[in-house]
Chains A and B, each alone.
Chain A
Amino acid sequence: MNTNQETFFETTDDSSLNNNSFGIRAKVIGVGGAGISLVDGLRFDNFDFVDNLIIDVDMKAVADSLASHKLTFGRRHTRGMGTGGDVNLGKRLAEEEKDKIRKELEGVDLIFLLAGLGGGVGGGAAPVVARLAREHGALVFAFTPLPFSWEKARHAQAEECLSELRKHANAVIPLPNDSLLQMGGEDSTALECFAEAGRNVSRGIAAICNIVFKKGMIDVDFSYLRKVFSGRGGRTLFGYGKGSGPEGLREALRDLLVCPMLHMPDVSKAADVLLIFVQGGTSLSMSGLQAVSKEIRDSFKAGEDVVFGAHVDENLGEEVKITILGVTSLDPLVPTADVAPVAQQVLELGKQPKQSHRSKLEITGTKTEKTSSIATRKKRGKKGDNKEQNTFFFMEEENQRGIFDDLPSRNMYEGEDLDVPSYLRRGVKIVI
């Protein structure tokens, strides 16, 4: 089911490795049917050092996959069939096979976990895998398709799985099918929507892997990435933008700020930790990058914990792409006590990052300047008076949250959250 997957993994750049991250091992793990199809959709052309693995109880799904490493479990209980959407079964079976799973996690530092949370295996086993990975000291990024609102029972169940997963993974990027359906063409189908999920997963993984493993204009090493993303349980944001021409970078920024992924229910509008990855042709300039990085950080209220990467890819010509991934920490940057010794070592190693983004890119956010810029923005953003004529200010103080985003409880009616736009829940296609 590999529909026009974007080729984010293909950098024609020499594939020399980022020396600072030498020896770091990454693995993409797909759990359950949706997870498997996402892994199958990825292209690993230039990332042969990123392993992949699929895990499922469904023998047939596993057999049909192209993945290089496969793990089946729970055979005795399900006779090789699926769980029938039973999360508890998925969870129990994964727990029973802990040791098998652990073996696959050994020595892995960075894990991309892909699982459809509406599934029995995806929803039940993925949180177990995340927990085990965490016990091994790995950094875990999860990308998780969420069922359509009209799959009522699955929907409620997926919500629970999501909060369970958030306890263990360092960042969980939800990919709600409702919203993804909005992003395809006028009459896009569920298949197109899965393809869109695949493109997002691919963008996210590519951004992180490029920054960590590939050598570019600006990179950070893995230990720094691990350090800033060490929190858990926070809400996340994920978005991308594209531009071309002489003003390509600015156009990409504009495109990023209206990225539909950033304007979905439940997406955080501010990030305590923010990863920014810019990829462009030879026209990328340091000063341009610096300005754009500042605008992005301001837009999402990012503090010091920014992972910034910029890579030149001559093939892109005048095209520029930006991908961002952010987390709102609940408990910012308190390294958790249960991180295994391996992680500790890496943290120690990373104490004096040889080249952090800070040294390479002069970040202008000194304390005083930051405060003053917030103060002026506050004034400007005041509801009603003299609105800025610029979509860059989409994330202004008053507007950083959707209208109902700040409410503690949901507005549930017959299993649906009424504060979520009706057109999303009803699957009505919006064309803009």
Chain B
Amino acid sequence: MSKIIGAVEIGTSCAKALVGEVTEGKSLNIVGKSVRKNEGMRKGEIVDFRKVASSVHAALEEAEKMSGTTVDSVYLAQTGAHIKGSFLRGSANVASPDGRVSVDDLQTAANEAKRKQPASGRSYVHHVRMPIQLDGRSVEDPVGMIGKKVELIYWSIEGDESAIRMNLDLAHNYGLEVADLILSSIASSTMVAGPDLRRAGVLVIDLGAGVTDLALYRNGNVAYTGVIPVGGDHLTGDLSMGLRVLEPYAEELKIEYGKSQSDPSDADQQLWIIGNKTIGDRKVPRKTMTDIIHVRIVELFEIISKELGDLLDTSELGAGVLLTGGASRLPGIEQLASKVLGVPVTKASFPSGLGNELAQPENSTVLGLLHYGLEDHGLPGEQHKPASSGFIKKLGGLIGI
């Protein structure tokens, strides 16, 4: 028996859709893929619903066509500067007289943890569960074990309700159910940082067009997630203003000649802004272009460093920092990032066997959605929910049922 499942990242630059086929509940095959330019978003947030809808729908349609099937439900990525994360805790005394932990005890603890509702106008996006604590010890599955008290801790991510609503509506309007809403940074990390790296401690930075998504793992668990509303579009905007060229030209210049740090060879190099030397074309110094990019990148990593504060501790980051997302293609960005953060930084790679076309930094999020979505994140004893029912629960949470 195989199952068809979709993943959608509505990224600031492109809407990306994947169709995956899961056989025997474990092996995942990607059978459809599409990327469509998205012009209705800024910094990870929708500013023009119709434009976004048309690119999302076009991407889904194409991906379905390519796969030769249709999807009923999708995993959907969520990001945006409005997203905030914090730890929620709940505990329960073991109820049974024989002192053995039951599934109900876990449920009680979970309910207590999630009892706290976000402020009005805000909704939960995602609860990421930490290992269960039984009398202060981390255990994988305490059910049936003897103990007094179970504790559950979640890294809970909440965001602006209307922004989340709009994101969901984009899928609904195409007749799709949302199997789960997954934080972009967690999706990307799932893809580029495997369990070993997460155990060693790793910070994954997804540099997108509109936002930079952060996820920090310690001892295998999420310790922090964050969204910084600065991305590749800022580089393009800075270049457009600084070099006084149209945005499309600035974007092309960035992709073709952009780098993070100027070197002596830049000294008297001049770049044509359009490239074909026709009327209106003019030259700009390469060094100027690099300088504009350099200050923005330095500033971005300084902000990341400030946001993380003490969490940016080399001794807790055995696997260092991994960069992914389209903007991480910028040559030299890892060296500059390392200089600013004071931690080893590398560009992330993908698990082997993905195929060249998919194993690209801008695909981390959408690929990660499928992988994360298919993993079992439920409580022990809880049935791993098939795609659709998970969403109903989520929706309930959103509208406060």
Interface residues of A (CB under 8 A from B): 254, 258, 260, 263-265, 383-384, 387-394, 396, 398-399, 402-404, 406-407, 411, 413, 418-419, 421-424, 426, 428, 430-432
| Distance in angstroms between the alpha carbons of A265 and B298 in the assembled complex | 20
| Distance in angstroms between the alpha carbons of A396 and B249 in the assembled complex | 13
> Inside 8 A of B295's CB, which chain A residues have their CB?
422-423, 426, 428
Known interface pairs A387-B248, A398-B247, A422-B299; 13 further A-B residue pairs with C-beta atoms within 8 A, sorted by A's residue number: A383-B248, A394-B245, A402-B237, A403-B237, A403-B240, A407-B43, A411-B230, A418-B303, A419-B234, A421-B234, A421-B296, A431-B287, A432-B243
Cβ contact within 8 Å between B238 and A422: yes
Pick the most buried of A263, A384, A391, A399: most chain B CB atoms within 10 A of its CB: A391
A411 with B242, Cβ < 8 A, contacts A389-B278, A431-B288, A432-B285 known:
no
A390 with B279, Cβ < 8 A, contacts A426-B295, A432-B244 known:
yes
B274 beta carbon closer than 8 Å to chain A: yes
| Distance in angstroms between the alpha carbons of A260 and B303 in the assembled complex | 28
Query: Pick the contact of B291 from A264, A383, A387, A423 — CB < 8 Å?
Result: A423
**Interface positions of B from 129 to 145, Cβ below 8 Å from A:** none
A389 to chain B, nearest CB (A): 4
Cβ contact within 8 Å between B238 and A421: yes
A389 with B274, Cβ < 8 A, contacts A384-B37, A423-B242 known:
yes
**Interface positions of B from 293 to 318, Cβ below 8 Å from A:** 295-296, 298-299, 303
B85 beta carbon closer than 8 Å to chain A: no
| Distance in angstroms between the alpha carbons of A419 and B42 in the assembled complex | 11
A393 with B241, Cβ < 8 A, contacts A383-B39, A431-B285 known:
no
| Distance in angstroms between the alpha carbons of A391 and B233 in the assembled complex | 21
Q: Which residue of B lies closest to A388 (CB)?
A: B280
> Inside 8 A of A404's CB, which chain B residues have their CB?
42-43, 233, 237
B393 beta carbon closer than 8 Å to chain A: no
26 A/B residue pairs, CB under 8 Å, sorted by A:
A258-B244, A260-B244, A263-B241, A265-B241, A384-B248, A390-B280, A391-B280, A393-B246, A394-B244, A399-B246, A402-B240, A403-B42, A403-B236, A404-B43, A404-B237, A407-B43, A411-B230, A418-B229, A421-B237, A422-B295, A422-B296, A423-B291, A423-B296, A430-B288, A430-B292, A432-B243
> Inside 8 A of B339's CB, which chain A residues have their CB?
none
| Distance in angstroms between the alpha carbons of A133 and B299 in the assembled complex | 43
Cβ contact within 8 Å between A430 and B291: yes
Pick the most buried of A388, A391, A403, A406: most chain B CB atoms within 10 A of its CB: A403
Cβ contact within 8 Å between B47 and A406: yes
B276 beta carbon closer than 8 Å to chain A: yes
A426 with B299, Cβ < 8 A, contacts A389-B274, A407-B42, A419-B237 known:
yes
> Inside 8 A of B240's CB, which chain A residues have their CB?
402-403
| Distance in angstroms between the alpha carbons of A197 and B300 in the assembled complex | 30
B245 to chain A, nearest CB (A): 8
> Inside 8 A of A422's CB, which chain B residues have their CB?
234, 238, 295-296, 298-299
Q: Which residue of A lies closest to B274 (CB)?
A: A389
Query: Pick the contact of B279 from A263, A387, A389 — CB < 8 Å?
Result: A389
Cβ contact within 8 Å between B248 and A418: no
Q: Which residue of B lies closest to A414 (CB)?
A: B306
| Distance in angstroms between the alpha carbons of A388 and B274 in the assembled complex | 10
Cβ contact within 8 Å between A413 and B303: yes
> Inside 8 A of B248's CB, which chain A residues have their CB?
383-384, 387, 399
Query: Pick the contact of A389 from B81, B245, B276, B291 — CB < 8 Å?
Result: B276
Query: Pick the contact of A392 from B39, B280, B281 — CB < 8 Å?
Result: B280
B330 beta carbon closer than 8 Å to chain A: no
A418 with B280, Cβ < 8 A, contacts A387-B249, A411-B229 known:
no
B384 beta carbon closer than 8 Å to chain A: no
B377 beta carbon closer than 8 Å to chain A: no
B385 beta carbon closer than 8 Å to chain A: no
Q: Which residue of A lies closest to B249 (CB)?
A: A387
> Inside 8 A of B274's CB, which chain A residues have their CB?
387, 389
